[in-house]
Amino acid sequence: MKSRMLATISLAGGMLCGSLGAIATGSVASAADDARTAPRFAEKAGAALAKRKGATAVRFAEQAVALAPRDAAYRALLGRAYLAAGRFGSAAQALTDTLALDPADGRSALNLALAQIATGDWFAARGTLTAHAERIVPADHGLALALAGDPSGGMAMLADAARDPAATATVRQNLALVLALNGRWIEARAVAAVDMAPDHVDRRLGEWAEFARPGTAAQQVAALLGVTPVADRGQPLQLALAPEPSTPVAAVAWKEAMPAAPSSLALVAPPGTVPPAPSSAAVTGPTGIGPVLVEPSASPAIATGVHFAPYRAIVQALPAVPVRLAAPRAAPAPPVTGSYFVQLGAYPDVASARDGWHRVRRGNARLTNLSPQGVQATVRGVRYYRLSVGGFTRNEALQLCRDLRNRSTRCFVRNHVGERLASWARPIRMASR
């Protein structure tokens, strides 16, 4: 069909009137083909992102954008692909175009700010964060603001968010990191310890110390995203966002059908042809958690932290404890009591902890016959209720925490620190004292 379109144009000088209908029909058919093909490329790009194959995702996302240049979701997908490939300059271009098409896309605004930070344009990054503040969650906004050269502002924002009764472990871990970036290491340690096992806190602080001294801005953002920065020549010029055409289709068909010099015909490319993308080095980032990048959505959404999660060594995710599993047993052994506990969360009060317990217990059969326990802790003047189950040997606790993580429940193993049976709980299995 594409070769037929070229043939129609080449014959326009000799049979202008007879070819106008064919040209218009061919244009409509080509548009229909593009509408069917672009989603396939986008789907392939999303699948590549899920496998952390940034360069492959870029190739498919560029083809999707070439076929549907005014689709904001495809351009957002392209921006995320560039980030995953470590091409921060190209990401900034693609995400700027995304926001031109969809100013309400908070997730793309956050990604654009990260790309601008990586290219050293801190002023533009702070402007992006300010312009889209209502659509970026404070946990991500505060951390990005700190990385954009305003660590005090980021710390204040995260401190306010951490005081919210609904504050999550992610908020507290980001606050701890920003405290570290401000040189307030004692406070950073105290906040990090709310959601982490004590033996992991020193290791995490060491990682943060290294993170606070990057060689370049690009290296810091790359560490945050878990990618490898590469030399970037920018987004292909052919993919730049052009003004929306206002000329009627029929007029375009007439213009294309007008006789032209033979040399101009050589410049005509088949509709849907994708210009070659600039070559880049292979991307080999760390493999941490599963995909933080999700399928594109055409509807505006508040940014949700999708891009801070991949780099577990730096922020947010709780550390996984290596476990060597014992061989399966034919029947469960009698419970053995001990002094190890599995912490399930830190809550602002007992009522919130009770609600959290009921939520996590419904989704985990392993907790059915266990009693919730807790202990109060105060960090930087803020009181927390640390919810846990315990009375295990170390191996029991590690096995339980691993099972819970497999069901997407955050946890970590620690020693007894004064837990007592939760006031709302019916005694089932008590912790060993």
Buried b (16+ CB within 10 A) or exposed e, 208-225: beebeeeeebbebbbbbb
Residue 79 CB neighbours (<10 A): 30
Buried b (16+ CB within 10 A) or exposed e, 90-115: bbbbbbbbbbebbeebbbbbbbbbbb
Distance between alpha carbon 229 and the CA centroid of its chain, in Å? 17
What pLDDT was estimated at residue 125?
94
Residues of the chain with pLDDT under 50: 1-29, 247-336, 427-433
Identify whether the C-beta of residue 134 lies closer than 8 Å to the C-beta of residue 150. Answer: no
C-alpha 249/C-alpha 253 separation (Å) is 6
> Could you give the dihedral angle defined by the CA atoms of residues 323, 326, 327 and 328, in that order, rounded to the nearest 10 degrees?
-90
Residue-wise pLDDT for 16-30, tens only, equals 333 333 434 444 445
What pLDDT was estimated at residue 110?
96
Domain spans of the chain, in order of start: 2-239, 340-421
pTM: 0.56
C-alpha 12/C-alpha 7 separation (Å) is 9
Tell me how many degrees the CA angle 57-59-60 measures, rounded to the nearest 5.
70
What pLDDT was estimated at residue 165?
81
C-alpha 4/C-alpha 17 separation (Å) is 17
Q: What is the DSSP letter of 150?
A: -
Q: Report the CATH fold assignment for 2-239.
A: 1.25.40
Residue-wise pLDDT for 345-373, tens only, equals 888 877 788 888 888 888 788 887 788 88
Residue 229 CB neighbours (<10 A): 21
What pLDDT was estimated at residue 240?
87
Q: Report the CATH fold assignment for 340-421.
A: Alpha-Beta Plaits (3.30.70)
Identify whether the C-beta of residue 108 lies closer than 8 Å to the C-beta of residue 120. Answer: no
